Amino acid sequence: MLGRMTTKDPRAAALAALAALIADETRATCLLALLDGRAWTAGELARHAQVAASTLSEHLGRLVAGGLLAEERQGRHRYVRLADARVAGLVEDLAAQVPAAALRRPPRTLRESGAGSAMARGRTCYDHLAGRVGIALTDALTLRGLLRQDTGFALTDAGVAWFREVGVPLEVSGRRPLARACLDWTERRPHLAGAAGAALCRHALDAGWCVRIGSERAVKVTPSGERELSELLGVPPEAWR
């Protein structure tokens, strides 16, 4: 008797192709760099990845064709950025799966050590806050009943009202959820992403609660931000340091 025939899942080939796109160190380096949410020139990415411009151009072509990057040209310059928040979430989630032991390489220079520490304290993850800053905000929102984590991330009615009262507009469009858990690759815990995470990050930077530092994605909470967030969410100043 012949065994039951099964139909091959049509997503299998596409999933394998997507994984192959990311499974290259140069392309992975570019994707991680673009988590800062900016558009980079091909030259900037080539220098960052330490490869020849011609080599980098080939890699970027594959990432654009695969839908992971969006491309635009201005004059002689070719700019690329992550296609959307969905791609950013995919890259960050995959990065969080890297075993901690693989990240324990000793820093080669004092500058590298300082940059790594700053990124762990606070950084942007595409368009929301991550690192200890992101975790502290997420914990404070949860503790005050503004965010639920028991069945996935969701703003409560009180949370939606809090965003409105603080003056943080919540803009939900397309398939992007209002709140989403994003696994933090340094803290190994989820921080707030989605439209609410993006709105909070944007407001924190616009209001001067946080400022960008250095040339990486690192951010730090300012003295005025410490005061405001302590008043609004009850977070002690030492949580940001």
Fold (CATH) for 15-83: Arc Repressor Mutant, subunit A (1.10.10)
Domain with CATH 1.10.10.10 in the chain: 15-83
Supply the pLDDT for residue 202.
94
**What span, in angstroms and rounded, lies between the C-alpha atoms of 35 and 82?**
7
Please report, in tens digits, the pLDDT of each residue of the chain (241 residues total): 455 656 778 888 888 999 999 999 999 999 998 988 888 998 999 999 999 999 999 999 999 999 999 998 887 778 999 998 889 888 888 887 877 655 555 556 545 445 568 888 899 988 899 999 999 999 999 999 999 998 889 999 999 999 999 999 897 776 778 999 988 878 888 999 999 999 999 999 999 999 998 766 889 999 999 999 999 999 888 877 7
For the entire predicted model, the pTM comes to: 0.72
Report the pLDDT value the prediction gives residue 113, as an integer from 0 to 100.
47
Task: Tell me what pLDDT residue 72 has.
Answer: 86
